Structure formats: C-alpha cells, structure tokens
Amino acid sequence: MEITETIPAYRLNEEEEKKEILRQYRALLRALKSKLKPGDKELLRHAFEMAAEAHKTMRRKSGEPYILHPLAVAKICVEEIGLGIRSTICALLHDTVEDTDITLQDIQREFGNEIAKIVDGLTKIATVMDSNTSQQAENFKKILVTLTDDPRVILIKLADRLHNMRTLDSMKREKQLKVSSETVYVYAPLAHRMGLYNIKTEMEDLAMKYMEPDSFRFIAQKLQDTKRERTRYINDFIRPLKHKLDNTGLQFEIFGRPKSIHSIWNKIKKKGVAFEEVYDLFAIRIIVDSSPEKEKEDCWKIYSIITDAYNPSTERLRDWLSNPKSNGYEALHTTVMGPQGKWVEVQIRTKRMNEIAEKGLAAHWKYKEGTSEENRFDKWFEQIREALTGQEDSSFDFLQDFKTSFLTEEIYVYTPKGDVKMLPLGATALDFAFGVHTAVGSKCIGAKVNHKLVPISHKLRSGDQIEIITSAKQKPNSEWLNFVVTSKAKSKIKDTLKEEKRTIAEDGKYILQRKLEGMHVSMSQNNLEELSNFYKTGNSLDLLYDIARKKIDLKELKEFTVLGDKLIAPKPEPKPVEEKKEYDPAKKEKKDTELIIFGESSDRIVYSIANCCKPIPGDDVFGFVTTGEGLKIHRTNCPNAARLLANYGHRVVKTKWVKNKEISFLTGLKIIGLDDVGVIHKITNLISGEMKFNIAAMTIEAKEGIFEGNVKIFVHDKEELDELVEKLHSLPGIERVDRFDTE
C-alpha cells in the first residue's frame, strides 16, 4: 500500500498507458504459463479487470497508473518468490479493499474464502504498517497472527514492500527515510527468515541507498571500477576447478557473484578495513544436479576437489547439509586461499537446495508435497504462536524480543541424549533450559556445557552439548532478563516475576486500604489511577508493590482532596520555567538555531544534537521529536536511526543544514599509523597549523611500532572534516583515519 492521488478522467497518452498495462499483464501471464490449469486464465483476467477498474482513477506518486503497482507485485510473487495462481490473484487485489470501493464480501463472492482471507490479512498489515499516527511496532503482533494463519500473506507483503522500495525515488525525503528504516528493521530480516535471501539483500541495498547515500554511491562506484579485474580473477580461480569437476562426470554450473553493497559496507565497518581489504568481495557458487539420495555425497565430493586445489580456512567451514538453517537453507560453505593471496568464499549447493535458497518458503511447499516430514517452517510458526499467546509486553519490547528470537542467525546445540535444538545466536544456557521446559528453566542454577560447569548466563556456541542443573530452591529474579534472548524465556521469567509482584502487592493493598478507609473513600479503579498518576508508578500493581516495599509511604495522602468517594491529587507547584539553552559546543556563539531549516520554512527552532551520533553540518540528518527532551538531531546512519524511524515514523521532522561558518561543532578522529619519529608533529602541524582547527583534546598510544591517536576537534561542517581526513591520509605512515562520535 502507498500514498496515491486521484486524477481527472482526462489523461495524456491514455492509449500508451493502456498498452503498457496490457504489456505488463501479458508478461505476468507468460511468467505463470507453466502453472496455469483449466479455468485459471479466466479467473486471473477477472481479478485483473476488477483491480484495474477499481484503481482506474488513481495514480502512484511517480505519476503512472496505479494498476501497474499490483501487476508488478504479482510478477515478483511469481518470478522471485515462486508463488502460484491464488497468490497472484491476491497480489492483484491486495490494495483494493483498503483503497477502493471493493469490499471483502465482494472478493469472497467472486473468488471464495481462501483468497478473501489472504486479502483481509494484507489489508490488516497495510493499515498497521502505513499508519502515521501510532508506533509502527504497535500492531506488529497482528502481522504475525496473519503470518501464522497463512504465510502467503507475508510473502505477498514482502513482494509489495520490495516493489515500493524499487520505486521509492518519487517519494519525499522523510517518507524515503521512514520506509527504508522500516524495511531494514522488520521486512529484510523477515525475508531472510522466510529463506528469501535475494529479496533480503536487495531490500538492504535499497534501504542503504536512501539512508546512507554517500557510502552506497562510494561502494557502488568501487564495484563498477573493479568489475573488470574481478571478472578476470574469478575466471582464473574457476579454470582449474572446472577442469577437475568435468572429469567427475557430474552435471554442474560454476559462477562468481559479487557480495551485496550492504554486506560489503557492514564488513568495512565491522572489521575496520578499506574496500580493497574486504577479502571476500565475491562468492563462487557451484550448483550440482544431483538425485535426492546422492546430494550430500556429491556436495562433499566437490568440497574435496576445491580443497585439493586451494587451501581452506578451517574456521570458515559451514556445514548446512547436516544441519540446515531453520529457514530451510542447505549448503556447504568454505573459504579458501585463492591466487594473489586473496580469500574466496565457495558455496556448494544442489539444484533443489538452490531453489530453496532463492525461493525460500514457496520452494519448501513444492518439495514438501508427498513427504511426511514436518516442515521446519511449521515448527517456526508454532514457536511464534507460542510467543504470541500470553504476551503482555509493550509492543515495542515485543518487537525487540521477536527480532532477537526469530529473525537472527541460529546456532544448533545438543541435549545430553544427542537431540538437536535450534537457538538464536547469542542464546545462553538459561535460554536452553527454558527451551527444554518452563519448569526446568525456572529451577536452573547452572549447566554443564561439553561436560564443563558453566553459569546460567554462559553464551552457547554451535555444536555445544548442554546438561541443565536444577535446584528446587531456585526461582527466577529480574536479573535473569539480562541473561536471555529468546521470547519464550523472557515471557516466562516476566510471568513468574509478575506473579511474585502480585503476592507482595497484596500487602501494599492492605496498607492502602486502611489509609483510604480512614479517609472514608473506597479503593476504586479511579482512585487507584489518580494515585498511580500522582506517584508516577505507571499502573496500580506497581503502586501497591511500591507501597509494600516501603518505596512510597503515602504521607502526601493528607494533601489530597476528597470529593464524595473520589480522591483528587494536589496540583504540583508551578516551577519557574527555565529558558532552554541553545546547543553551543564551542561555548562562544548563540546562533546555532539558524543551522537547520525545518519543513518548508526557515523558522528558528531550538533543538539539541543527539549524543549517540553527534551530527555536524553537512551530515545527512533527520529531526526526531522526543518525549520530554524536545527536538533532537540524528544522523541517518546513526546506530539508533533504523529503530527510531521504523517505530516512531510520525515523530520524524524533515531537516537540512544552512551554511553558518560562525559555529564550531565538536567531532573526533581516530588515526592509526606507523610509529615513526615526528609523525605526531606532522599531524598536529596539519590540524592546527595548516588547517587552523581548534584541537579540544588529543591522546596518543604507541605499541610495538603502531600508534593509535584520538583527536577531538572543532569543525564548521562535514566539507571541512572530509578535507582534513583526505590530507591526513596523504601523510606518510598514516594507515587509517576514521571519524568517531565524541562523548
């Protein structure tokens, strides 16, 4: 779903547009050709005509007829996700109930219950995810309920989101930021969890294009510049392998493909290396045509040939043949030392495995037909259903828990009897204990991992064997919440703590009741709410708990007014209003409110700079309305940006810098290089002598011939900073210069 506008009946190039719509419809039919059964074509045409008629007066923001969007979404469903006829019909109709006069009853009457149910799920998601008034996380649970009812709902929604990302150019900047961050925060991990690796990758790349445009362009350009030499290198690497594989008689394809821009950027940031030093810029993929019973054997045979030709890195062998990921991914990955001292990742899959890697969940259904094996997705949906029941957390906490429990990479561990358990990356012995059973988790006092005693907070690794040690005297405490990542463990611990809290709160209830009886008022819900608001406890359970724990002694009750049976809290004394100081890092000038323009006008608005990312003029930024702290300015690549934009899109304010050379902003540079005589002098000479920057602080540490320096300086804008970084880079012996956010 997206913002549209209604247009007059008269349009330019109407004939051309009609031709384009028909072209796209025919392309959709061609993509579906192998799946069409008798009667399907008529049904599809009916859905297409119904959608085209319903959307006929609507346009996308780009100006094109709206019907091209459902057609494009349907095509993604067929070609890139591998869905069939019914899903295609749902994709064509996915926006009709929300945006047009067509009702769910109309769809049910024309196409039956199954299609109506999926369209209903899609309509619910659209209402949830595109609402500007509430937090995006607020109704995320509803999406998951529809996902577990019929996974096709989320698959079609992913196709819808992918097409919106591909056509985001025509949207306003703040809408681009909101949609991109939401995509990278929720939809890309969901696509990955559904096994749709290509869609996940494209979503991340497109989101980066809008959230970090400079970095995106930099890497895209680098990939373009090095394309020729990479192609030559891949061919040199493949040549000896191809020759050896030809002699095995196996039917195979072998090719190289570059890593995504987003994953290269992550590596550059995580490993702290330059583009040229990212060792596996591309992966070699070998796809073998194997019969089901020979799949493993053939993959290991190919592995043996590769490691004969090139030396493997033993730490980087990933065997997902024996233990597939729970999104169904099966493959063998190894990283080998190729020519010219470059590491190369090699992925080995069969045709069936490749289809599952490309099409995820949809391919699973295809291969599941006729087998009795319980699908890994079914298990996953079962876990989600379990997580959804009895959830009383705030939606935001729930979304955080959901991401760590269900959308991250997994590890596999073993029970003492040798059964395999899948857990999210970062899971602890305590997570494992709750995974076995709630009673085991609640009584857990420690564990033996690979026969060695470890605490409950011990982080598990793939391949560990775990035995849980329990005690009847043990019970959960609030600290346990810091030791677990799974949704199940968190909710069970919270339930136990809440139960304990209720027991203690009974004492508080008795104390309060006696006080209120003395004032001749009852303990009504209204009175409890009035007291909760006054003591800022959030709810009545916390109020009674704090009274029992003597955190609240109720002495202020005598200041309350009693009106009939109603308590009225005293009005707080009005405090003298302090004038909010404008942000002034250099403590010199007071003109920094002129630095940004908000919306379309250049009103002077008081704001503060976010400490998490410390933006400076020239950085790509957005304004965020906080509760209690006014407007804060964040960089779009701030570590918290995706979370804020995805969950609180309605609080984002459009911002841009205005040139103002009178104000200085504090920022930091980390400089690493060879510890040579005079190198520090050269650095300080360049910063304060040549470029006239004011140095606020400088620390230098030298160890074994390498020095690491942190310099805090005042700059006017990003342009100046970039110029300084370039000049520092050109000094002899300087290896790296990175910006860091000052405290």
Strand, coil or helix: what is 637? coil
Q: Give the C-alpha separation, 535 to 450, whole Å.
A: 50
Q: Report whether pLDDT(555) > 70.
A: yes
Architecture in CATH of 665-740: 2-Layer Sandwich (3.30)
Q: Following DSSP, what letter does each residue of 278-326 receive, concatenated? A: -TTSEEEEEEE---GGGHHHHHHHHHHHHHHHSEE-GGG-EETTTS--T
Which amino acid does the sequence have at 605? I
Higher model confidence: residue 369 or residue 83?
83
Tens-digit pLDDT profile for residues 310-346: 999 888 888 888 878 767 788 999 999 988 888 888 9
Q: Which of 79, 98, 319, 393 is catalytic?
A: 98
Catalytic: 99? yes
CB atoms within 10 A of CB 578: 6
Q: Report whether pLDDT(580) > 50.
A: no
CB atoms within 10 A of CB 407: 18
Superfamily of domain 220-366: Beta Polymerase, domain 2 (3.30.460.10)
pLDDT of residue 674: 86
Q: Which of 64, 99, 149, 594 is catalytic?
A: 99
> Which tokens hold the place of 342?
């470059």
Q: Following DSSP, what letter does each residue of 567-605 receive, concatenated? A: EEPPPPPPPPPPPPPPP-TTSS-S-GGGGEEETTB----
Counting every residue written for the chain, the total comes to 743
Strand, coil or helix: what is 740? strand
Contact criterion met (CB below 8 Å) for 672 and 601: no
Q: Report whether pLDDT(373) > 60.
A: no
Q: Report whether pLDDT(4) > 70.
A: no
Which uninterrupted H or E stretch holds 252?
strand 252-258
Contact criterion met (CB below 8 Å) for 549 and 563: no
- What is the mean pLDDT of the segment spanning 138-158? 69
pTM for the model: 0.64
pLDDT of residue 297: 92
Q: Report whether pLDDT(618) > 50.
A: yes
Tens-digit pLDDT profile for residues 400-409: 666 555 566 7
Q: Where are the domains of the chain?
A: 5-211, 220-366, 494-568, 592-657, 665-740
- Name 270's Cβ contacts closer than 8 Å, sequence gap at least 6: none
Q: What are the backbone angles phi and psi of residue 336, rounded to the nearest 5°?
A: -120, 160
Contact criterion met (CB below 8 Å) for 199 and 184: no
Q: Following DSSP, what letter does each residue of 58-110 receive, concatenated? A: EE-TTSSBTTHHHHHHHHHHHHTS---HHHHHHHHTTTHHHHSS--HHHHHHH
> Which tokens hold the place of 444?
């857990």
CATH for the stretch 5-211: 1.10.3210.10
Tens-digit pLDDT profile for residues 404-439: 555 667 777 888 888 878 888 889 999 999 989 889
Catalytic: 592? no
Burial code of 518-548, b = ≥16 C-beta within 10 A, e = fewer? eeebeeeeebbebbbebbebeebbbbbbbbb
Contact criterion met (CB below 8 Å) for 485 and 426: yes
Cα-Cα-Cα-Cα dihedral sign, residues 190, 191, 195, 200: negative
> Which tokens hold the place of 163?
């097409």
Q: Report whether pLDDT(183) > 80.
A: yes
Q: Report whether pLDDT(179) > 80.
A: yes
Q: Give the C-alpha separation, 622 to 184, whole Å.
A: 17
Residue with tokens 């463990």: 489
Average pLDDT, rounded, for the chain:
79
Q: Give the C-alpha separation, 639 to 645, whole Å.
A: 11
Q: Give the C-alpha separation, 395 to 136, whole Å.
A: 9
Tens-digit pLDDT profile for residues 205-251: 999 999 888 888 988 888 888 888 888 888 899 999 988 998 888 89
Q: Following DSSP, what letter does each residue of 446-465 receive, concatenated? A: EEEETTEEE-TTPBP-TT-B
